[in-house]
Amino acid sequence: MKTYKTAADILTAIHLAWSFLVIGGAFFEFLVPSYALTQIIVMSITLLIGLPFGACPLTALEKRWRRKTNPSYDNQNSFITTYANKIMGAHLEKRTVNIAIGVFYTISYLSCAYNLIFHR
């Protein structure tokens, strides 16, 4: 059972690192406009992996592994919602977080497009 918890913790660390890459890349792209194409690729990979499943498959895998040691574990099928609530002590709804993510992606894509057009 401890193996599942360790595996879930490692998976969470990988998921967190990828999330930082997506979010941090949006800010880095402001400092280094030539990073815009890389940011578009990272965001597109994230969306193309997550959209067919309705959520990132890593989230479902983490939930499955954590339930092996804690059957009542529930991550609402949202990595960001679960860990934002845990870290900030908030009670954000998945729908609210999904709207914020949609706004983030829209602004980030527009910013990248701007940098690709005007700062090449």
Q: How many CB atoms lie within 10 A of CB 98?
A: 14
Q: 80, 17, 102, 119: which is closest to 25 by C-alpha?
A: 17
pLDDT along the chain (120 residues), means of 10: 91 94 94 94 94 87 93 90 89 92 96 90
Tell me how many domains the chain contains.
Answer: 1
Rounded distance, CA 65 to CA 21, Å?
24
Q: What predicted TM-score, i.e. pTM, was given to this entire model?
A: 0.86
Q: Which residue has the tokens 């059957």?
A: 71
Would you state the pLDDT for residue 73?
92
What SS3 state is found at 74?
A: coil
**Token digits of residue 26:** 């949006």
Instruction: Tell me the C-alpha distance between 29 and 116, whole Å.
Output: 10
| Domain interval for residue 30 | 2-118
